[in-house]
Amino acid sequence: MTTSHVNGHVTEDSDSEKQRAERSSEEPPKHREMAVDCPGDLGSRAMPIRRSAQLERIRQQQEDIRRRREEEGKKQDLDVNSSLRLKKLAQIPPKIGIDNPIFDTEEALILESPHHAVKILEVEDLLSSLKDIQHTLVDSQSQEDLHLLLQLVQNVDFQNAFKVHNAVAVHMNKTSPPYPLHPNAQELTQEVQQILKLSHQKDGHELNALLSTPHIQALFLAHDKVAEQEMMLEPATEEQVYENFGHYGGETVKIVRIEKSRDIPLGATVRNEHDSVIISRIVKGGAAEKSGLLHEGDEVLEINGMEIRGKDVNEVFELLADMHGTLSFVLIPSQQAKPPPTKETVVHVKAHFDYDPSDDPYVPCRELGLSFQKGDILHVISQDDPNWWQAYRDGDEDNQPLAGLVPGKSFQQQREAMKQTIEEDKEPEKSGKLWCAKKNKKKRKKLLYNANKNDDYDNEEILTYEEMSLYHQPANRKRPIVLIGPQNCGQNELRLRLMNSEADRFAAAVPHTSRSRRDHEVAGRDYHFVSRQTFEADIATGKFIEYGEFEKNIYGTGIDSVRQVINSGKICLLSLHTQSLKMLRNSDLKPYIIFIAPPSQERLRALLAKDGKNPKPEELREIIEKAREMEQNNGHYFDSAIVNTDLEKAFQELVRLIDKLDTEPQWVPSSWLR
């Protein structure tokens, strides 16, 4: 059996796994799942037009007749009328010959009861009647004709055509309501009236007067409304599925037919196990998943009469690419116990890493891999495979018919831990610290590699996904706005401009200090003045978002100060250090964090020159490098980012983001709402 991807379990003896990871970028696995009838890299293939609803009804009618006959358990005897009609038929010589007979009438095939119910004659009934008639014929010509007729009825091709004829005849003789010929009777009436105006005959004038009456006009109007509905093409259902069981080479097999709409792909992957082709994965959103008839582990023997066993998965893909309409599968059902059907729960997560399936040697089916960037919201609709979830990107549900494959959380954490360990092993160990370094590395391995067992390692060390929920801020409890960015990137200027532009909407949290109050200062307006002992006690109990010491006095922003602004109905504006974000995010304040990023080095120089600053090139590079470091280490906390290429444009974008919080729900960590 060929493996499709890594199994997701990491052990202490990881040398072979490390070597595999080192080779992964150069030597991707040769055997993997192949998507069949899948859009994306394989190209969107338009599906053919479905079989008509009329033929579908014929098939259903034939199936109903077969069931009724099986329930009856025996054949019905032909009535006297059938014998008489068959005698009449037997006396008519063939018009064209036994190889291509044409009957003048369908009476021998369709018998009608006095109540006009359609009664079907089977081939066996016809043969039995012909043999009975044979004893009543006396002339040699009739005997010869009947002998030819018996040979014809016993012909296999004739019997197959006879069954098709029965199915069509049942439908054609079925009583149905009148069908409208035109949806524009009112328009035709008006044309007739125009012609009748030129008529000099009395009958023409009477007909014109009759057609002009309100009742007749209303009748034709009603007719056209009904006819318009009746004559509309019958909409195709999303899929039509059939399933029964039969035998194939002595094995009990399942026969499945799936007819899908042109816009919905099949949505399945296959893999090779020796000579067998096995359904490896059912993808959410496809016709296979909607039908419920294909299951993971089923072996595919035939598709539309083409033998599949022994073919490579790439051949199977090419074969299915040329098949249209109804797909008929002959399958050996999986022996694995099927779990009871459960209602899928959609989990919304925020991605904390970039992912490109084209660069991932372990993705089981590259064509179904879903690329995303850090910060994207993913709607995970299936975690049946813990290593490879099925998901949609937020906003792509309508344009993306099939779910895509993304790495599962534990799987991603394990291989990132493996990657970090490999990188550490490659680093030269400094002399004098060899024993200590090896000891720490061994402890780190043990901590990271037990992820599947107990999840007791520091999850923040390896960021993967964070569960999110939609949240609409209440009108009376505005989320605090936090501006983050390197020095000289404009976050302080933007904050002050907001405060000055709308003082009744924005406010700052009153800071705390341990220094003494000065004469011009007002407690509660300029600072909250507390003793150093009280300040340190509040720090110990986690009451401060951030704090620091300056000239032997402590200053800080307290959680209660921010809460006071929120309770007043205003928006609290904060400009914090990145080290404070974790504390703020773990509070109940639900902050909205905006990263103010610097532009290019030349543009940054021009912006600072407006403020009378003349930074050196190395200072500009340091600002840009600091921004990159902040985004890399704390980007998972950011809700939005603004590149400050122009202060006026940055301010307008900032106002737009803040206004959007009042009109649109935002994704927030689910832990905030529990």
Average pLDDT over residues 290-313: 86
384, pLDDT greater than 60: yes
The answer to whether the beta carbons of residues 489 and 595 sit under 8 Å apart is: no
Question: What pLDDT, on the 0 to 100 scale, is given for residue 230?
Answer: 66
At 69, the pLDDT band (50, 70, 90 cuts) reads: low
Higher pLDDT, 602 or 237: 602
Annotate 116-174 with DSSP letters as a single string: --EEEPPHHHHHHHHHHHHTT--SHHHHHHHHHHHHHHH-HHHHHHHHHHHHHHHHHTS
Higher pLDDT, 320 or 602: 602
Q: Which of 349, 459, 374, 373 is nearest to 414 (CA)?
A: 459
Higher pLDDT, 325 or 36: 325
Q: Tokens standing for 439?
A: 């000891």
Average pLDDT over residues 117-132: 71
79, pLDDT greater than 70: no
Taking only the tens place, the pLDDT of each residue in 494-515 is 999 999 988 899 999 999 999 9
The answer to whether the beta carbons of residues 340 and 349 sit under 8 Å apart is: no
Question: What pLDDT, on the 0 to 100 scale, is given for residue 342?
Answer: 61
Is pTM beyond 0.85? Reply is no
At 455, the pLDDT band (50, 70, 90 cuts) reads: very low
Higher pLDDT, 149 or 137: 149
Average pLDDT, the chain: 75
Question: What pLDDT, on the 0 to 100 scale, is given for residue 562?
Answer: 94
Q: Which of 108, 451, 402, 460 is nearest to 269 (CA)?
A: 402
Which range among 17-31, 479-493, 550-564 shows the weakest confidence by mean pLDDT? 17-31
Higher pLDDT, 550 or 262: 550
Average pLDDT over residues 304-332: 82
Share of residues in the chain with pLDDT > 70 (%): 70
530, pLDDT greater than 80: yes
333, pLDDT greater than 60: yes
435, pLDDT greater than 70: no
399, pLDDT greater than 60: yes
Helix H or strand E segment including 270: strand 268-273
Higher pLDDT, 356 or 401: 356
Taking only the tens place, the pLDDT of each residue in 139-195 is 777 778 878 888 888 888 787 777 777 776 665 555 555 667 777 888 888 888 888
